Structure 1
């Protein structure tokens, strides 16, 4: 049974801090965080069993037998530049959906954790959050990476440094989002909500005719424009989804260990 080191309790974020952050985040904005959590959870098939065993028989006279089970632990690394609550939740929730039992969020170095990020953790049920000086981060990673139990590191820091690695440890570096193009229509999308969800990015206003020329990392458009014509963006949000997020190509399968066997078909 995997357990994080006991000395982390001295660096645990207090319950009152979570409560204050929750109260500081107005209900309409909390609703967007809840919507992100629910949608990302749904995308990642939380109703699937924790362990699976699939057998396929192929025409060549052989079988593949694939068994899967969740990793034991996951650690999210944050810093003072990790301020987008929805982008962080979109990385965290797939671990829950996969069935990872031990999940830890680690704020590294100087500064304070964003209140909206703390509110997102509170809503997601992620209260195992610590704030560590850099030397303690290295100590923690050294202990868990070499413990012999498979796990995952999610690097959500705005200024990532060297990360220790070892066998059985998966590493994912969050894609950088510097700008989001916004195609407006009447009063949509809600720019205040976008600013709350992504306080660290530049919003570039475009129109339908200039979408193809946009070089932003994501785009927000009216629902009727969603389709193949936006393939130059990896992430597209329609109006009504502007306060949510989902990472393209990153899902609960990242948090599952597989064993593949080749067998002779009977």
Structure 2
């Protein structure tokens, strides 16, 4: 494998491991309040929103124009790519049984699966597109953009890992086991990262499609999964504040590193 493929793989692995790092407070018996948890997940949503636009959609438009497309055609390509990414995650949601922290069970056959695996599958559905985004970011050869995505995705993985671990402890599992499972859910990110970096590195023509596809996948997750979860317990103000902080933090990160 070329150097850029290795870098993309390792960066997506590092971002995925932040899921386990975020879960570590559970070992000390520290559980965030519902309000704080919703604020942290709101932050994760904000990071994903900002990353989708600043690190994926805008570079995707630029890549399409660099390949000779006019602005209208580049915008059309981006629109199709975003729609395909959203449809991809929507299909995963329908096909894979999973459970959300508040909303409950979804997907085919969810009633017949143990709750621990439903939680794992729910976070896996989140993490695969995130790893894909990091890999695609590196695949075009723009290391700065890839690093920005990896850092941003890593930051938003931490509160997700904590939420998973807290939920598992609430189901009666040991703290150590809960942290281990939370960390394991992040290991799907390097799989997505490897697929993304190889696909885009193999053909430059894939770059605008890959960037906008990853953006659509993440936008779907934010709207369909994370924001509804953070607004179900009456902590909308805290969740929205977290979201705004996440948007701003990721924008500053993108401008500074990119």
Using the size of structure 2 for normalisation, the TM-score is: 0.30
Higher relative contact order (CA 8 A, sep 6+): 2
Using the size of structure 1 for normalisation, the TM-score is: 0.29
Greater Rg by CA? 1
- Whichever structure has more strand as a proportion of its residues is 1
- Whichever structure has more helix as a proportion of its residues is 2
